[in-house]
Amino acid sequence: MRLTENDLAPLNRRFEGAPPLDLLRFVAETFGDRAAILSSMQQAGAALCALADRAGLPFDVLFVDTGVLHAETLQTRDALARTHPNLRVITLHPEHSFAEQTRREGLLYLSKEGQERCCDLRKSAPLRRVKGRYDALVSALRRGEGGARARVQPFSIDQEQNALRVHPLHAVDRPGLDALVALDGVVLNPLHAMGFPTIGCFPCTTPVLPDEPERAGRWRHLTSVTYCGINPVDRDAHEDGIDLHDRYQALLATADQR
């Protein structure tokens, strides 16, 4: 039996526009330690982590250290782990160091095809190595970011991980995010105050000018690249479905009852 996007429709109707904390609570109650927050230590993810911690929800937080992140991003990870006692920050790593990868395959990030492989090796592959450990992965995508993310739903399927993706911030607009970020206890990556609206690996991230789109600083050297592909919605992937198990059946039944 497979769980498909169509099966999630009642759940998505139930949680459309719901406050982010309602979704976080629902996921924590339903999945317990089989749920995790994905964070790259940018402001939206940090706001989600602070919400969960303040509510006493004991999520694992998965952070992928690609080996080529800014020092500020690693310091943000450490500060978040130190100041959010209810969360357990887990750092995932690629198989090879960036130097070893470059020795084997060259400087991949300098071409579009190479970037796809580099992002897969350094971002997606570490996450694939925990496949099976989690049934629900929570991330900070918002419709207000535009592009493919404009159609993000509260719940979606991640076939690659055989897990649900959960988006508590799906309906949060820019002022709403600013308000969440301003709350006490949100650990902000200092790079945001240095002209980086979004943050990734240092070889592929620059500051942006005031009149540029927020993501103009990502892969600036490759004109047609906007996302790394770790999120199914950005991959524009057709997700056929994931294995249906008891926990998902219970979750769908709960949605029907509400």
Active site residues: 228
Site for ligand SF4, rule CB under 6 A = 66, 68, 109, 115, 118-119, 122-123, 200-201, 203-204, 228
Residue 21 makes CB contacts below 8 A (sequence gap 6+) with 51, 55, 168
- In whole angstroms, the minimum distance from the beta carbon of 34 to ligand SF4 comes to 27
Beta-carbon count within 10 A of 130 CB: 16
- For ligand SF4, which is the closer residue by CB, 115 or 139? 115
- For ligand SF4, which is the closer residue by CB, 66 or 153? 66
- For ligand SF4, which is the closer residue by CB, 108 or 171? 108
| Residue 72: both structure tokens together | 């500020």
Q: Where are the alpha helices (DSSP H) in 161-257?
A: 174-181, 232-235, 246-257
- In whole angstroms, the minimum distance from the beta carbon of 115 to ligand SF4 comes to 4
List C-alpha distances in Å: 176 to 10, 19, 173, 246: 25, 11, 5, 35
- In whole angstroms, the minimum distance from the beta carbon of 168 to ligand SF4 comes to 25
Strand order across the beta sheet in which 35-38 lies: 88-92, 60-64, 35-38, 136-138, 163-166, 155-158
- For ligand SF4, which is the closer residue by CB, 112 or 131? 112
- For ligand SF4, which is the closer residue by CB, 81 or 119? 119
- In whole angstroms, the minimum distance from the beta carbon of 184 to ligand SF4 comes to 32
- In whole angstroms, the minimum distance from the beta carbon of 9 to ligand SF4 comes to 34
DSSP helix/strand/coil, 157: strand
Question: One-letter amino acid identity for 181?
Answer: V
Which phi and psi (to 5°) does residue 8 adopt? -85, -5
Is-contact 254 247, C-beta < 8 A?
Answer: no
* C-alpha span between 28 and 34 (Å, rounded): 9
